[in-house]
Structure 1
């Protein structure tokens, strides 16, 4: 992880602030923030996301239940785990989070000693974990990403956190029965249409025809399997496309148009609601070598 650039946003509402960093050549991102009034819209990431609450209380819903993370607690989200987020009281909260692509997780586990890793990609059944050792490892990794650190040290800390998180907190069994097979088939067919045609102004009847079910059955199945309404999932695909265009250096207005948003303000509004940062901050966070 040699090429990266960070960004800082200060002076927000009620003393809100954030620092953000992402790697140019690997799917790794990190953020350190204080939020009071900001509310995350329900969303998910393509990555594993590991966070530590530094101070205060943050609340969120994930996998059909409400959760609270207080100082020292670790949050663990699987790829495509829908969740939201907000302050648990008027004092707000401070937290740090690292997003790690599944391919990096697989690579780190493949490099671990034989017999010490679980087969396949890990699954974190509990979104909040009390584990001071894991929390400390995440803080050290996070500090190396946002602050000057040798590239080799960052790589070592990244691998160590992945292996530690899997050994200490992961499971292959989510511990709860999933949707019936029929619902999975319906949802997958609808998702395939959304993935191929997310730029289009699709309607419920189009998804129903592709899934071979009524529009109401599609909605219920999609929510049960993916945790989001089809319209939210389509918006999320557009946001991910916008991120790719921004990372490639395209202007915000152009990225908005290419990703299917009405205009730049529409993209910005949803970008902040979902990711907590502006498209401009995301775009400016790459392309330079970190000074040491």
Structure 2
């Protein structure tokens, strides 16, 4: 078995496992091993940034087949569909962090969200920045180290994407107002007209700018917030139907469709896996794949 397998893992299928580590601000972290097909096509509204520790990590991304090897850094842009499977019979072992685009914007302050062509890079700077966050099971030891790690990751992404420091596209402040409003009022029925009234922007330019700065559309961002709360309610004992109804989905099937499209796994299977390992002492409560 791989030497780097940590305690408090979740068994998947016959030989696979997944471990979700405690998150720091806006970031979730996982480590996993999969012997074959890992998950179906899905997308989420965070960056997925990771390193393959062993084996060949294969995935479909933007219409092409990609393969990540040890020494590569994967940077999957928010809201881009992708899947995952082993590229060889030996399986693959990887670590991944999920970074909220809003956290990147805290550093960049309104720059266009960095995009890494092809989803894989061999940039030495970005590898060092990613591993600083991936290789520490419980994150940096203090807030200064944590801030430094996030800033360096954002700047490394910015540099690798070829962005210029003076690039200030469109209206960041309006997009930020819309982002804050959606975070605060996710339980309400919100229309683009509501966002336009809050920000003073027309719905077309606002939707365009929101995607530029936060990586997804306002409507999808709102669905993701509902799914975040639904996951927590399911973990607290709510049925799938109750979790769907209490977070504003039309019905359980509606939530299930969005859940599977977002995480690559059905909510029923996700919940069974979470219940399998509820005794883990270090907070293995949720995961994203």
TM range (shorter): 0.5 to 0.7
Q: Encode CA deviations 1:233-264: one digit per residue, 9 max, x unaligned.
A: 99x98676332233366434132554432599
After superposition, give the CA deviation of every residue in 1:267-289 in whole Å (9 maximum; x if it has no partner): 998856279x83437996469xx
| Correspondence 1:257-276 to 2 at 5 A | 257-258=245-246, 259=249, 260-262=251-253, 273=265
**8 Å contact from structure 1 (residues 20, 146) kept in 2:** no
Contact 2:114 2:157 in 1 (8 A): no
TM-score under structure 1 length normalisation: 0.60
1:141-180 to structure 2, matched below 5 A, reads: 141-144=133-136, 146=138, 149-170=141-162
Residue in 2 that maps onto 1:3: none
**CA shift for structure 1 position 124:** 2.2
Q: Judging changes above 3 Å, is the alpha-carbon distance between structure 1 residues 155 and 278 closer, same or farther for their aligned structure 2 residues?
A: farther
Report the Cα distance in structure 2 between the residues aligned to 1:87 and 1:11, rounded to whole angstroms: 17
Cα 1:255–1:239 shift into 2, 3 Å: farther
1:119 equivalenced with 2:111 (yes/no):
yes
CA displacement at 1:150 relative to structure 2: 2.3
Q: What is the match of residue 67 of structure 2?
A: 68
- Per-residue CA deviations over 1:22-79 (Å, capped at 9, x if unaligned) read 537x421111111113431111111112111111001111111111111111111111
Structure 2 SS opposite 1:126:
helix
Q: Secondary structure at the match of 2:78?
A: coil
For 2:17, the equivalent position in structure 1 comes to 17
Structure 2 CA distance for aligned equivalents of residues 70 and 171 of structure 1:
26
Question: Partners of 1:105 and 1:67 in 2: how far apart?
Answer: 25
1:247 is matched with 232
Query: CA offsets per residue over residues 173-198 of structure 1, 9 Å max, x none?
Result: xxxxxxxxxxxxxxxxxxxxxxx79x
State the TM-score, normalized to the length of structure 2.
Answer: 0.60
Q: Secondary structure, in 3 states, of the residue corresponding to 1:144?
A: coil
Question: Is 2:86 aligned against 1:105?
Answer: no
1:37 match:
36
Structure 1 unaligned spans of 5+: 1-5, 111-117, 173-195, 198-232, 288-292
The CA distance in 1 between the partners of 2:226 and 2:7, in whole Å, is: 21
Give the secondary-structure state (helix, strand or coil) at the position aligned to 2:54. strand
**What secondary structure, in the 3-state scheme, does the structure 2 residue paired with 1:8 have?**
coil
